[in-house]
C-alpha cells in the first residue's frame, strides 16, 4: 500500500456458487487496483460498494474488513463493511473492531469511514475470520462460538500465526466431533511478537513484516460443500 504500509483484508460473500466466486474475484481485483493509489480505507470500500451495485445481482452482497498497518510506527487503521475483527490482548481482554457500516452491494446510501490510528502493542493479536469458525456445531447443536475462539488465542502463547490458525481449526474440528462443516472458514491472523517491531501475519499467505517475502501457509481443511474463498491482501 502507499507509504510502505501493509494491507490485510478478509471478506465473505452471501451464498455459494459460481456467481459468488466471480463476485469475490471482482472484489479482489478492485481492491488490488485501489490500494495502489488510495490510502483512505473508507473511500476504498465506498468505491467497491458502487461497483457491486452496478454489476452484482441484487441478492448478492459482500462483508469485508480491511486493515492498514504501518510497520515503522506499528500503528494501524481499519474500515469495515458488515464484518468485524477481534483485537485480543495478552492480558486476556479483547475488543471487537467494527463499525455501523452496511455490507457492500446493499445500498448507495451506505457510508464507510476509516478508524482513528491505533497502536499495535507487543503481544496483541488481530484476528479476522469468516463466520464459519464461530458457527461450527457440536453434536448437541452448540456453537463453537467466540468465547472458545478467544480462549484458544489466549492459551496459544507465543506461537506463530500459522500455528495459531492451525490450533483454531483443530479446536473447532475437535469440538464438532464429526458434525459436517456447513460453511467455509477463512482466517487472517496478525501478531506483534516483540518490541523491535517484528510482526507476523498469516492467512492464505504469510510473511514477516521485516522481510516481506511471501510463502504459502498450510490451508485449512476444506469443507465438503462448494468453497467460496475470501480475498486476502
Residue ranges covered by each domain of the chain:
2-216
Check residue 230 and give its pLDDT: 35
Average pLDDT of the chain? Answer: 81
Contact 81, 133 (CB under 8 A): no
pTM of the model: 0.79
Residues 6+ positions from 170 with CB-CB distance below 8 Å = none
For residue 126, count CB atoms less than 10 angstroms from its CB and return exposed for 0-12, middle for 13-18, buried for 19 or more: buried
The answer to whether the Cα torsion of 159, 92, 135, 80 is positive or negative is negative
Buried b (16+ CB within 10 A) or exposed e, 29-63: ebbeebbeeeebbbebbbbbbebbbeebeeebbbb
- Between 226 and 11, whose confidence is greater? 11
Q: How many CB atoms lie within 10 A of CB 177?
A: 10
Question: Does residue 204 have a pLDDT over 50?
Answer: no
- Interatomic CA distance for residues 115 and 124, integer angstroms: 18
* Residue 32: C-alpha distances to residues 25, 78, 86 (Å): 11, 16, 24
Sorted by sequence, the CB contacts under 8 Å of residue 77 that are 6+ apart come out as 41, 67, 68, 114, 115, 116, 117, 118
Q: How confident is the model at residue 95 (pLDDT cuts 50, 70, 90)?
A: very high
Long-range contacts of 81-87 (CB under 8 A, 24+ apart): 81/45, 81/49, 81/110, 81/112, 83/10, 83/11, 83/12, 83/128, 85/10, 85/126, 85/127, 85/128, 86/126, 86/127, 86/128, 86/146, 86/149, 86/150, 87/124, 87/125, 87/126
> Angle 167-172-174 (CA atoms, 0-180°, nearest 5)?
95
Predicted pLDDT of residue 201: 61
Averaged pLDDT, 136-145: 87
Mean pLDDT for the stretch of residues 29-39: 91
pLDDT band at 198 (very low <50, low <70, confident <90, very high): low
pLDDT mean over 180-189: 81
Q: How confident is the model at residue 159 (pLDDT cuts 50, 70, 90)?
A: confident
Please state, for a pLDDT cut of 90, what percent of the chain lies above it.
45
Confidence at residue 207, expressed as pLDDT on a 0 to 100 scale: 30
Residue labelled with grid coordinates 468465547: 147
Residue 164 pLDDT: 92
pLDDT band with cut points at 50, 70 and 90 for residue 117: very high
Query: Can you tell me the mean pLDDT for 77-101?
Result: 91
Question: Does residue 138 or residue 104 have the better pLDDT?
Answer: 104
- 204 within 8 A of 185, measured Cβ to Cβ: no
The confidence score (pLDDT) of residue 158 equals 81
CATH of region 2-216: 3.60.40.10
pLDDT category at 224 given cuts 50, 70, 90 is very low
191 pLDDT higher than 70: yes
Amino acid at each position: 500500500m502507499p507509504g510502505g504500509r501493509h494491507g490485510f483484508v478478509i471478506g465473505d460473500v452471501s451464498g455459494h456458487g459460481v456467481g459468488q466466486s466471480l463476485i469475490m474475484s471482482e472484489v479482489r481485483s478492485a481492491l488490488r487496483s485501489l490500494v495502489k493509489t488510495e490510502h483512505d480505507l473508507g473511500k476504498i470500500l465506498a468505491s467497491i460498494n458502487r461497483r457491486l451495485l452496478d454489476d452484482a445481482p441484487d441478492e448478492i452482497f459482500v462483508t469485508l474488513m480491511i486493515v492498514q498497518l504501518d510497520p515503522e510506527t506499528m500503528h494501524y487503521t481499519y474500515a469495515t463493511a458488515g464484518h468485524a475483527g477481534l483485537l485480543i490482548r495478552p492480558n486476556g481482554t479483547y475488543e471487537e473492531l467494527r463499525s455501523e457500516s452496511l455490507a457492500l452491494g446493499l445500498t448507495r446510501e451506505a457510508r464507510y469511514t476509516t478508524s482513528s490510528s491505533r497502536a499495535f502493542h507487543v503481544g496483541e493479536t488481530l484476528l479476522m475470520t469468516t463466520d464459519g469458525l464461530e458457527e461450527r456445531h457440536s453434536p448437541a447443536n452448540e456453537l463453537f462460538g467466540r468465547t472458545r475462539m478467544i480462549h484458544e488465542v489466549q492459551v496459544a502463547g507465543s506461537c506463530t500465526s500459522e500455528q495459531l490458525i492451525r490450533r483454531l481449526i483443530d479446536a473447532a474440528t475437535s469440538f464438532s466431533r464429526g458434525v459436517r462443516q456447513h460453511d467455509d472458514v477463512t482466517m487472517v491472523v496478525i501478531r506483534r511478537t516483540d518490541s523491535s517491531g517484528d510482526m507476523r501475519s498469516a492467512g492464505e499467505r504469510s510473511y514477516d513484516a521485516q522481510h516481506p517475502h511471501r510463502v504459502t501457509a498450510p490451508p485449512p481443511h476444506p469443507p465438503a460443500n462448494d468453497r467460496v474463498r475470501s480475498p486476502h491482501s
